[in-house]
Amino acid sequence: MFWDHDIKWAIQAVGAASIDFRFSIHQPTVGYRSFKEGVSTLKQVTGRTQRDIQRYLIPLISGAVTSQFVTALRALMDFRYAGQATRFNQVSASRVQAALDEFHENKDIIQHLKARVNPKGVPIVHWEIPKLEFMQSVEPSIRASGPIMQWTADTTEHAHITLVKDPARSGNNHDFEVQICRHLDRQARVRRFDLMTAMVDARVDFRLGDIEGDEGRGDEGGDSGKELLDEEEATTKISSSEQLAAHLNPVSKKLFGSFRPKRNFFLRARLLKQTPSAPLPLRIFSDEVSGEISAFSFVRDADLKTLTIEQVSILYALPDFRGACIDFLERYEAKTVSFVIGGRRGNSQLTLPFTKVRNWSRFRIQSKTYFNTDLLTDPHTIFAAPPSADWEFGRQNAAIINIDPSFEWPRSSLEGEASIFVELCFTD
């Protein structure tokens, strides 16, 4: 519905030239598509492109249209994202319906601005949209049968490619059903053979305890009993699929998914803390204050080395950099946990224990998913680069940080959080 309605309403209300200009000057974000030519002339787009446009749309049209129009589109977007949750309770299910109700309360502004038009540009004065009417049944369905994502067609559509289309292309265009079944049968045999050889190579043993009749094997002879004992000690006992996947060699890990596993900054941070020879400060570490909700990764060598405090202040256009450092050290020594908004002046009578710093222009951050903190998100790159020939005003990315320790994400949602621009990453 987004591409057929929401984006069309925004283009009509803001103007094609204006919205294209706003998208074209938006700072590129690593991992997401940028639209240097705008979006008004796009015809066929992928689902990923639509998701990227949704991420930018609301802030980019703010100020160009009335707040009521922005509220209507934002409510529809909240409804879509909230409805795709993997689990619900009474509160989260009510939020889905509340977002839809908020859209209906503000939708009249869309017709008032003549943003809803037909292909000929004639305003449409009704709301007979089948997908919009279908949304009325989402919240009752969630309460009756659970998350609606369990009924998604994405799984079957992907299976149609791997189980039907790919095997069909491998045949000779005759007897498709027979050849597809034969192809899948042979694939299954290959996987079972690969799995068995990998388990033998990894010396995997699925026994949870001693097998009956094996207790006296080591009493028959000293040397032979010792050899059997050593063999058992070398055997890995496995009791779950997760343990099995962890012990198989990298060649056989393709049986369980991607060749390139997702990076785990949390695990690497814990391993580095246990390594006495690791260089300090650690380049990979986790935020222990918030309960390891986020982990950070820096490259080994800083981009800008041994700059003085004054040089950093000039390069990054941060005249209060020295005062900010003094304020931070004072609060750290006093164990004061608070967040200061605005310029920092610092105590003029104090001096910093360092005169030079090393600066990084970027780092990567990884967090945990909202609904299951045992699962990790994909790492994101955060820039904190100074002005340069390519970036006249520097390249900084926004982030959300906790400013009130009494609130903890994800239980507190975004309460106690603040949006910031990361302008500088440094160490002494």
For residue range 380-426, list pLDDT tens digits in order: 999 999 888 888 888 889 888 888 878 887 778 788 888 888 888 88
The pTM of the whole model exceeds 0.85: no
Q: Specify if 204 maps to a domain.
A: yes
What DSSP line would sit under 72-135, residue for residue? HHHHHHHHHHHHT-S---HHHHHHHHHHHHHHHHHTHHHHHTT--B-TTSPBP-----HHHHHG
Q: E-strand spans in 280-388?
A: 284-286, 294-297, 304-308, 356-360, 362-367, 380-385
Query: CA 347, CA 79: separation in Å to the nearest integer?
Result: 49
**145 shares its domain with 163:** no
How many residues can be counted in the chain? 428
- Is residue 246 within 8 Å of residue 267, measured between CB atoms? no
**What pLDDT digit, counting tens, does each position of 215-255 carry?**
444 444 445 554 544 544 455 666 666 667 666 665 555 55
Task: Give the pLDDT of residue 344.
Answer: 59
Clarify whether residues 308 and 360 are in a common domain. Answer: yes
| Contact status, residue 185 vs residue 233, Cβ threshold 8 Å | no
The number of domains in the chain is: 3
117 and 169 share one domain: no
Q: Tell me if 262 is assigned to some domain.
A: no
Q: Judge whether 426 and 400 are in contact, CB under 8 Å.
A: no
Residue where a domain terminates, one of 200, 223, 256:
256
- Same domain, yes or no, for 119 and 182? no
Q: Are 279 and 406 contained in the same domain?
A: yes
| 271 and 380 share one domain | yes
Q: Does the structure show a pLDDT above 80 at 340? A: no
In a domain, 261, yes or no: no
Strands (E), 330-416: 356-360, 362-367, 380-385, 395-402
* Residue 96 belongs to a domain: yes
CA dist., res. 422 & res. 418, Å (int): 12
What is the Cα–Cα distance from 3 to 403, expressed in whole angstroms? 37
Q: Is the dihedral of CA 345, 347, 348, 352 positive or negative?
A: negative
Query: How far is it, in rounded angstroms, from Cα 423 to Cα 397?
Result: 8
Type of residue found at 357: V
Same domain flag for 241 and 346: no
Phi and psi torsions of 124, nearest 5°? -100, 130
User: Based on the domain organization, do 184 and 310 belong to the same domain?
Assistant: no
Q: Are residues 396 and 281 in the same domain?
A: yes
SS3 348: coil
Helix axis angle, 16-24 relative to 47-61, nearest 10°?
100
Residue 358 lies in a domain: yes
Look at residues 256, 285, 315 and tell me which one is the last residue of a structural domain. 256
Mean pLDDT on 114-140: 89
Residue 188 and residue 84 share a domain: no
- Whether residues 51 and 116 share a domain: the answer is yes
Which of these three, 124, 151, 178, is where a domain ends? 151
Same domain, 223 and 271: no
Taking the C-alpha atoms of 256, 257, 259 and 265 in order, what is their torsion angle to the nearest 10 degrees?
A: -90
Domain range holding 340?
267-427
